[in-house]
Chain A
């Protein structure tokens, strides 16, 4: 039970409680450590692109939603065991994950992964040392390339490793690295990018088709009226639809 409240989104109309049946409250699981997708803001609440998106989706689907955070490593086991109902944590849709859980349609375009390195560094993509967060698609990508993979538990540490020279570069989602490169003069994004993941979607239990349909419809309506594009632009997450 890895779930602690960080904020309640009681945006939905109270009337919806009556008909939603088993899902009178939808618990939204996120990581809270991956800006701009999701992070904990100064007042200690879940914030970011996915917080805004999730609240809007819940309002459109007329659901009462509640936000909880969970460690990235156990985010899927806790979903299938029923500790929350939705994963909305910047999770790329992959075939591996799709075997275990279901995804809604993607709400971001596939986000390329970028390399972040020290200004002026000459990075060898085939034989150099590349850092990545453990258990991510980027880590798996580097492991199968020629480069030497060095894994850290958190994204913070991967960036720190580039700073202190442990790694030549770090590979992570472009949207995560870009603000870091913008604010730090000594760090730059390299030209080379890797297209590894599909888009990001919400993860649900395979048995939860009713909820999946509701969210799919809500995402579609946001895509249709352009509000999703506005959100993507606001948080600077890749191109719109």
Chain B
């Protein structure tokens, strides 16, 4: 990075550190911070959408739909996320390729399982075998987002399901008395009202989601933890210009600070949102706000 970095062994401590912290490898860990933030930014709404669909179907009046919703919540919540991540991404990838294979290569006669190999026709590969690397990366990233969303969607569904049931029943009845249809009651009364009940649970879930990001490397996304481990391990002079001992502790300390800060910022923001949402609501907190005003 800097011009004086050509021969690190001859440098003083400070200059050495400056060079060390700006190697290409360190740039990778700085980029990975943004990867993690981007993943969280995309996953949160997606998981919320999954949760919303799951909760809506769980309380549906059509039994099969409600069973599916309830089964989704129960099964995914019951499995440790780590176990899920260890096989689910490959399964998801194969599922997508198989679907494309069925559509794009209807004349293919061979089985897609050749011994141990999973083989689909070339034009069904996802991404295509000769696609540039960034396409592969983006696809991998999207699979990770989807997996995270499916797992955390189940938890979100559970929270939203509870929140929907917590909306005071007489409000819904009043709406019906005004002649609203079931659909209107759902979209105009229930959905807007439920958020205040769901927010404490959802913010807790957000905290859990933040802390699940170290598992990203299982999904093939090289996140901060992967790089912290890689950079922190002892390095011998043969393979690097910057040999050092086992520095994992310092890297993990940096991660600790990162996660604590991130948690703190989230807490402050979520507190603000909660205060906004409770405004004018028929809850204890809403009452207190009204009195204070």
Contacts and interface: CB of A to CB of B under 8 A. Distances in A.
B250 to A, nearest CB: 14
Contacts of A48: 239
A70 B220 contact: yes
Given A41-B240, A42-B242, A80 B222 contact: no
B130 interface: yes
A83 to B, nearest CB: 7
A227 interface: no
A193 interface: no
Contacts of B139: 1
Nearest to A70: B220
Interface in B125-139: 125, 129-130, 133-134, 136-137, 139
Contacts, number: 128
Contact of B90 (A44, A69, A78, A160): A78
A80 B233 CA distance: 30
Given A81-B90, A154-B233, A206-B116, A47 B140 contact: no
B64 interface: no
B270 interface: no
B239 A25 contact: no
B271 interface: no
Nearest to B94: A81
Interface residues of A, number: 52
A20 to B, nearest CB: 9
Contacts of A233: none
B137 A5 contact: yes
B137 A80 contact: no
Contacts of A1: 89, 93, 136, 139-140, 143, 219-220
B12 interface: no
Contact of A2 (B97, B122, B129, B220): B220
Nearest to A206: B115
Contact of B217 (A22, A27, A71): A71
B176 interface: no
Interface in A19-67: 22-25, 27, 32-33, 35-36, 39-45, 47-48, 66
Interface string A1-29: 11111001000000000000011110100
Contact of B28 (A44, A74, A82, A101): A44
Q: Across chains A and B, which 9 residue pairs bring their CB atoms closest together, nearest first?
A: A2-B220, A43-B24, A1-B140, A44-B24, A5-B133, A156-B233, A24-B130, A44-B25, A42-B23
Interface of B: 23-25, 27-28, 86, 89-90, 93-94, 97, 114-120, 122, 125, 129-130, 133-134, 136-137, 139-140, 143, 217-222, 229-230, 233-234, 236-243, 246, 248
29 contacts: A1-B93, A1-B143, A1-B220, A2-B220, A3-B140, A4-B222, A25-B130, A35-B239, A41-B239, A42-B242, A43-B24, A44-B23, A44-B28, A45-B24, A48-B239, A66-B133, A68-B133, A68-B136, A70-B220, A71-B217, A80-B117, A81-B118, A83-B93, A156-B229, A182-B236, A183-B237, A183-B238, A206-B115, A207-B114
Interface of A: 1-5, 8, 22-25, 27, 32-33, 35-36, 39-45, 47-48, 66, 68-71, 74, 77-78, 80-83, 85, 100-101, 154, 156, 159-160, 163, 179-180, 182-183, 205-208
